[in-house]
Amino acid sequence: MELYNKVIFLTGGSEGIGRECGRAYIKEGARLVIVANDALSLAHAKHEFGQDHLFICCDVGKAHEVEMAFEQTLSKFGRIDCIHNNAGIAHPAKTLDETTDQEWENLMNVNLKGIYHTVKYGIDALKETAGSILNTSSMVGEIGQELHAAYVATKGGINGLTKAMALDYAKYHIRVNAVSPSGVYTPMLHKWKEEQPNPQLIGEYLDAMHPLGYCPNADVVADACVFLLSDRARFITGCIMPVSGGAELGYRSVLATSLENDV
């Protein structure tokens, strides 16, 4: 029970990596506040996780909605021990010059401004508990990615922001870290793979891009998140922890490059 009785404010917690983190946090004894902007997935999460937790429909890009979410959280639980900024979007798949103003704004508002809002309205509560902040980044923030320039910019921004926040809030004994996944299977990735002309080849490519030999499920990210929010990581701050199976290491393998060219 690594997170026993900790109140965790989890954005983007109704789907994908966030939902897997929610499962892991509950297993470790936490009380959750699941914040998401999709009412249907939020209802599904509520059905799975149960009435002991709080579920709030909220757009993290809108300051007043985030402020109200923290008011509801403190009203129900009276404290906040952790903020996990997991909410994020990846679209559009475009070069920078092809990206519209609105697409750029949408990415910045969710992926970066969302963190600004949760910290702005949650930091006082974290000071009371000497809590911690966890941001979900991506390996592409370090190594780049074709046709996702704006998205990559947000993830690189999250990495720098994590380190700056770690310095700013260390005097309050608040730790700030990030997880940096590469490819992980979520329902969205499974769906995308099956929609491709050759799903088997795509699956082989996703496996081959990781030196450990397979593309994992999102529970590997959740395990790392549990550790970083637990007291076992009590002397770790400003860390961008890769959860990548070594995908960022060395040259691409001949097999992976060949598969990519075939796709």
Q: Which of 25, 151, 185, 205 is catalytic?
A: 151
Number of domains in the chain: 1
Does residue 166 form part of some domain?
A: yes
Does residue 197 form part of some domain?
A: no
Task: List, for residues 47-57, the tens digit of each pLDDT value.
Answer: 999 999 999 99
Residue 237's region, left for phi above 0, alpha for psi from -120 to 50, else beta, is: beta
| Element counts in the chain: helices (H) and strands (E) | 11, 7
CATH of the domain at 138: 3.40.50.720
Task: List, for residues 74-123, the tens digit of each pLDDT value.
Answer: 999 999 999 999 999 999 999 999 999 999 999 999 999 999 999 999 99
DSSP collapsed to 3 states, 224-250: HHHHHHCHHHCCCCCCEEEECCCCCCC
Q: In what order do the strands lie in the sheet with 54-57?
A: 54-57, 31-36, 7-11, 82-85, 132-136, 175-181, 240-243
pLDDT at 224 over 90: yes
Does residue 32 form part of some domain?
A: yes
DSSP bridge pairs for 242: 180
The proportion of the chain whose per-residue pLDDT surpasses 70, expressed as a percent, equals 95
Residue partners of 244: CB distance under 8 A and separation at least 6: 139, 180, 181, 182, 210
Task: List, for residues 28-73, the tens digit of each pLDDT value.
Answer: 999 999 999 999 999 999 999 999 999 999 999 999 999 999 999 9
Does residue 2 form part of some domain?
A: no
Does residue 81 form part of some domain?
A: yes
pLDDT at 167 over 60: yes
Does residue 192 form part of some domain?
A: no
Task: List, for residues 88-100, the tens digit of each pLDDT value.
Answer: 999 999 999 999 9
CB atoms within 10 A of CB 254: 9
172 is an active site residue: no
Domain extent at residue 87: 7-184+217-250
